[in-house]
Amino acid sequence: MKLIFEKSSSGRQGFKLPASDVPLKATLADKYLRKVPAELPEVSELDVVRHFTQLSQKNFSVDANFYPLGSCTMKYNAKFTEKAAAMPGFADLHPLLPQLKGGERYVQGALEVLFDCEKWLAEITGMKAFTMQPLAGAHGELTGIMLMAAYHKARGNKKKYVIIPDSAHGTNPASAAVAGYEIISVPSDKKGGMDIDKLKAVLTDEVAGLMMTSPDTHGVFNSSISEIAALIHAVDGIMYYDGANLNATMGRCRPGDIGFDVVHLNLHKTFGTPHGGGGPGSGPVGVGAKLEKFLPISRVIKRQDGSFALDYDQPDSIGYIASFYGNFAIILRAYAYMLLLGADGLKQTSDHAVLNANYILSRLKGHYQAAFDRICMHECLFSASRQTERGVHAIDIAKFLIDQRIHPPTVYFPLTVKEAIMIEPTETESKETMDVFVEAMIRADALTKTDPGSFHHLPLTMPISRPDETKAAREMNVNFFAPKA
């Protein structure tokens, strides 16, 4: 197929398919075919390189800056894992290969990676089996809730509600609602955990299950999980563990051992794979024995002779939840990450993540109001309530940090704490980097006392200062920087 280079009536140049060589012509109606050449810009390689290099420099990334965004686990992504994902034996595989006659033998290595990942994650979480297919944390949640629904359907249970604590990530109620359940929100108690009396008050036979994050978005590990699990299991409910951030407990505590039946993990948080601009993510789902037969297809199996295969013969399965086998190149990076660190390394990861968060908590609690007066897990939570009395809000402090080349922590989440500032340094940051951050936070606090008004013009160093964020989200104009026509 050859492209024809042409000038359009407006004088711009572009490429066009020759009429004789239009393979789509047979399938597309005439009215959809291009009458004039597409106006593609003509630029040199150097201009393209400059354009993308400059864009990459505008991108705020962990490779260049501290990024303590709470709940998002913006840890450094080891370059070693990129190497693994680029290996031609994996990168050049076609996703349809396993389904072609004789194709299976070419994908044995890839299937082994999936098989091992499932096995290792099952070991880490105390679950019976895993699926690597879900394409994000929220997708894992939806898969998990669909497994929950399949379980109740198979048992003839009439279930209507999913219970979710008020500190949960917003995707939890969204996933349960998409799967057809109504949500009951349970408030947190004064120490940040779920209020068990309030839970008991809403528990009925119509409860399908409970979704829980622990450590939760308060950075608090719930010490009553076994008691909560017993209550939920007593009404034949399913305990769902939101393990998006396993970073605090990996290698220390297994959800399967403390009463959870289903769990999702975010490889793009705990397992050091890139977040991407909203993807590609990966949210594998693990289940205990009672949910295993409902797992999505295909499943990776190991035959007696040691070879690997994809099995579609799963009569009770909830079916397909993703095309092919998940975000394979991301799974590969997580595989390399687990191999690199080993069991002891993963455990150390959690220890250092918790240590770092507590270091920041202890250094800042004299300046900012700690949301809970206790040791935190992988993230620490403050309220800018003292600063607010001086007219400076959490958002103002976030803007101050941007001018210091520090990505702001998560602000205004969780919703349970007013003027929330939620800081997650992760284990990959050095004490020196955390000190630079802590000192910037202390300077911000000092400035709220001497010149609170100065915050309202910040940031001064960015192309955009203070957009109307709600309007920006609703009327997204991605051409903001494009030259006006």
Ligand X SMILES: *Cc1c(COP(=O)(O)O)cnc(C)c1O
Residue 147 CB, nearest approach to ligand X (Å):
17
* Other beta carbons within 10 Å of 396: 24
Residue 311: strand, helix, or coil: strand
Among 219, 259, 281, 425, binds ligand X (CB under 6 A): 281
- The CB-of-169 to ligand X minimum distance in angstroms stands at 3
Binding mask 186-225 for ligand X (x = CB under 6 A): ---------------------------x------------
Nearer to ligand X, 242 or 445 (CB): 242
331 Cβ partners below 8 Å, 6+ apart? 113, 114, 117, 132, 267, 282, 284
CB of 168 to ligand X, least distance (A): 7
State both tokens at 479: 């051409």
CB of 131 to ligand X, least distance (A): 16
Least distance (Å) between residue 426 CB and ligand X:
13
3-state helix, strand, coil in the chain (%, to 5): 40, 15, 45
* Residue closest to ligand X, measured at CB: 137
Within 43-82, the residues that bind ligand X by CB under 6 A are 71
- Across 127-143, b (16+ Cβ under 10 Å) vs e yields bbbbbbbbbbbbbbbbb
- Which residue, 167 or 428, has its beta carbon nearer to ligand X? 167
* 175 sits near ligand X (criterion: CB under 6 A): no
Q: Using the rule CB under 6 A, is 333 a contact of ligand X?
A: no
What token pair was written down for 218?
A: 């308060």
**Separation of CA 351 from chain center:** 21
The strand pair at 129-131 and 4-7 is best described as unpaired
- Residue 125 near ligand X by CB under 6 A: no
Cα 231 off chain centre by: 29
Residue pair 365/383 in contact by the 8 Å Cβ criterion: no
- Angstrom distance (rounded) from CA 329 to CA 324: 12
Of 142-171, binders to ligand X (CB under 6 A) are 169, 171
Q: How far is the CB of 414 from ligand X (least distance, A)?
A: 10
Nearest to 441 by CA among 464, 407, 417: 407
CA count, 13 A, side-chain hemisphere, 231: 17
Q: In the complex, what is the shortest distance from the CB of residue 174 to ligand X, in angstroms, rounded to a whole number? A: 10
Q: Which of residues 354-413 bind ligand X (CB under 6 A)?
A: none
Using CB under 6 A as the binding criterion, the count of chain residues that bind ligand X stands at 13
Task: Tell me the three state secondary structure of residue 432.
Answer: helix
Taking CB under 6 A as the criterion, the residue among 131, 188, 266, 410 binding ligand X is: 266
Give the length of the chain: 485
Measured at the CA of 135, the angle between CA 244 and CA 283, to 5 degrees, comes to 25
Stretch that binds ligand X, among 21-29, 131-139, 185-193, 422-430 (CB under 6 A): 131-139
Tell the smallest beta-carbon distance from residue 100 to ligand X (Å): 32
Q: What residues from 225 to 244 belong to the interface with ligand X (CB under 6 A)?
A: 242, 244
Figure out which of the listed residues 37, 98, 137, 425 binds ligand X, where binding follows CB under 6 A: 137
| Contacting residues toward ligand X, per CB under 6 A | 71, 136-138, 169, 171, 213, 242, 244-245, 266, 281, 283
